[in-house]
Amino acid sequence: MENKKTKRKVTHKTNRMSKKELNTYKKRNFVIEGIILFIVLILAFLVLCNKTFIHTKYEHKIGGVKVSVNIPRFTYFVSDKDGVITLKTLGKTKFVKEFFDEELNNSEIYDLYYCETDKPYYYNNVGKFFITDIEVKKNVAIKTIKIHYTTEDYNTFCMTVNPDIIEE
């Protein structure tokens, strides 16, 4: 006597469906896959076409002045209007603040001015512009970075900021 093993047939859900149900199931999967692919392509387009996302420097030319600021990697450019560069990042607030402190205070590119006030201003020797303020605002997960700058001449900048300075 031979001992025969019985093979159990594994049936998939689609094997038990009628043709109509199977077609509906396939169409629904096709639509879901299409939507996911569309969302991934849109996100890839937004990230890759952005001025700063894969770069560590933002550059823009205004008149004869080239505004160039080092920024953390994976920072998304939003706008540059009226002397304010707006960026978005997922990086931690502490990291972003430390990055800009390190960049401005320990770089040979920037000179520190006080213009007889308590507020520091950073003059970029290469691009010939002032960074007047850097704000890092925390929203839920995304941080907004606003870099305020002016392309005003460094000889007249302090007079604009503090009109009480007497010219010698």
CA angle 63/130/47 to nearest 5° reads 70
Choice between 12 and 108, residue whose per-residue pLDDT is larger: 108
Domain range summary for the chain, segments of one domain joined by +: 14-47, 56-161
- The DSSP secondary structure of 128-167, one letter per residue, reads TEEEEEEEEEE-SSPEEEEEEEE---HHHHHHHH-TTPPP
25-34 pLDDT per residue, tens: 888 888 899 9
Q: Are 81 and 148 in contact (CB under 8 A)?
A: no
**Sequence-distant (≥ 6) Cβ neighbours of residue 159 within 8 angstroms:** 165, 167
> May I ask the CATH architecture of the domain 56-161?
2-Layer Sandwich (3.30)
Residue with tokens 């392309």: 151
Distances (CA, A) of 84 to 44, 116, 132, 146: 26, 24, 10, 6
Choice between 12 and 71, residue whose per-residue pLDDT is larger: 71
46-90 pLDDT per residue, tens: 777 777 777 788 888 887 788 889 888 888 888 989 899 999 998
**Sequence-distant (≥ 6) Cβ neighbours of residue 72 within 8 angstroms:** 56, 89, 91, 95, 96, 99
